């Protein structure tokens, strides 16, 4: 058995998401790019690239990762976006990308000469989103994410061939998506018709069990046809949701008003998004007569995965599987407290489990100096 903690990416649980993405691409004509800001564990990129068109990024290093590791030899697209490109990195960004997307008209103009001849786009902020959390809301007041007026975009429209809209966040409601797309068309329709391609970003949970995939495909196809553009989607969570667990072991138990189990992992170090958004981890099944609070081993008092039900009392040595540990999780792991970073393992379709990467003391010290 692999020593815990480790992330386990299960291809059999990843496959249904990939198949839905492939079905959507076929029915709608839209292209799907993996959002590396959400998931960048490249040992499964070759598998995913059979179902997707490429990658999109938020930094130079993500651009390079997409170019180097996603579907090598399969003619995949690499889109480069950043909130702000630096002078010292733009040349390399252009070398390793197929499209470069600027966050503002000012950045587009700043690098207009350098990027001349490259396929260029601009991020547009439509002023509406589906986020219920201010921290993640791209349309929050005073947002720096994209140009937000027609007047600000029109003077540079001839320098670009596409727009990127990213205003969905954990949106599993097709009607809400449709309403926002109508809003985008109403505000920016004249400019959209001058473009060749439009990215509608990520945050759309179209791989969910009850999502009306056929209606979604029809809406995307209609949008593309009416505006004569190639549509792109940038699925992150939709691509990998439910595919990965964080495997941990119970190190100790105690009782202090509640039953407490300390595991060899840390929410602060290994599932940071849960701490940021004040969410509980998931354990399945969450049933039984025994209530336990599962706690991390770092010194942070609030390092708590959550409270769960079990069929039997937990004891030292028990192994637990924390569900849904891929999106915005593996990419945020860190060395807080020097807690051992989880290894990465992949469960193949035939059931075999292969350890892809382990982390040790050398990784710890090289990350810090």
The binding site comprises: 237, 273
Pairing between β-strand 304-310 and β-strand 282-283 as defined by DSSP bridges? unpaired
- CB distance 128 to 167 below 8 Å: yes
CA torsion angle 175 176 178 179 (round to 10): 120
- CB distance 266 to 297 below 8 Å: yes
For tokens 């180097």, what's the residue?
68
Task: At 197, list the tokens.
Answer: 């391609």
Alpha-carbon span 318 to 249, nearest angstrom: 6
- CB distance 330 to 244 below 8 Å: yes
- Name the maximum alpha-carbon separation found in the chain: 67
Alpha-carbon span 332 to 343, nearest angstrom: 14
Question: Mind giving me the DSSP string for 18-61?
Answer: HHHHHHHHHHH--EEEEETTT---GGGHHHHTTT--EEE-SSHH
Residues in the chain, total: 369
Alpha-carbon span 29 to 228, nearest angstrom: 12
Alpha-carbon span 219 to 203, nearest angstrom: 17
Q: Considering only CA atoms, which of 141, 140, 142, 139 is closest in space to residue 165?
A: 139
213-227 and 11-28 helices cross at what angle (nearest 10)? Answer: 40
- CB distance 103 to 146 below 8 Å: yes
Q: Considering only CA atoms, which of 64, 62, 114 is closest in space to residue 87?
A: 114
Output Rg (C-alpha) for the chain, integer angstroms.
22
317: helix, strand or coil? coil
Alpha-carbon span 35 to 25, nearest angstrom: 16
Q: Which residues are annotated as a binding site for substrate?
A: 237, 273
């Amino acid at each position: 058995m692999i020593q815990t903690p480790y992330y386990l990416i299960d291809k059999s649980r990843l496959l249904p998401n990939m198949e839905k993405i492939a079905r959507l691409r076929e029915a709608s004509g839209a292209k799907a790019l993996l959002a590396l800001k959400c998931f960048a564990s490249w040992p499964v990129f070759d598998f995913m690239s059979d179902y997707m068109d490429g990658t999109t990024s938020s930094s130079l290093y993500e651009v390079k990762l997409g170019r180097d590791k996603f579907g090598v030899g399969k003619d995949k697209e690499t889109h480069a976006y950043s909130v702000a490109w630096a002078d010292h990195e733009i040349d390399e960004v252009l070398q390793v990308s197929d499209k470069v997307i600027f966050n503002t008209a000012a950045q587009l103009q700043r690098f207009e000469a350098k990027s001349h001849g490259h396929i260029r786009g601009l991020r547009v902020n439509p002023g509406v989103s589906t986020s219920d959390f201010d921290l993640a809301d791209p349309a929050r007041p005073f947002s720096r994410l994209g140009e937000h007026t027609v007047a600000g975009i029109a003077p540079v429209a001839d320098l670009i061939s596409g727009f990127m809209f990213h205003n969905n966040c954990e949106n599993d409601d097709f009607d809400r998506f449709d309403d926002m797309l109508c809003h985008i068309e109403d505000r920016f329709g004249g400019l959209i018709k001058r473009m060749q391609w439009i990215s509608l970003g990520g945050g759309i949970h179209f791989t969910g069990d009850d999502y009306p995939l056929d209606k979604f495909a029809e809406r995307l196809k209609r949008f593309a046809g009416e505006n004569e553009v190639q549509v792109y989607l940038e699925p992150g969570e939709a691509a990998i949701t439910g595919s990965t667990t964080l495997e941990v072991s119970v190190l100790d138990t105690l009782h202090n008003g509640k039953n407490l189990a300390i595991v060899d992992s840390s929410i602060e170090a290994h599932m940071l998004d849960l701490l940021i958004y004040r969410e509980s981890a998931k354990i399945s099944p969450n049933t039984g007569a025994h209530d336990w609070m599962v706690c991390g081993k770092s010194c942070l008092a609030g390092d708590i995965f959550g409270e769960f039900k079990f069929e039997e009392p937990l004891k030292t040595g028990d192994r637990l599987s924390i569900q849904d540990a891929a999106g915005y999780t593996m990419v945020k792991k860190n060395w807080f407290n020097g807690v051992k970073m989880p290894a990465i393992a992949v469960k193949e379709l035939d059931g075999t489990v292969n350890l892809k990467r382990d982390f040790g003391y050398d990784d710890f010290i090289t990350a810090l100096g």
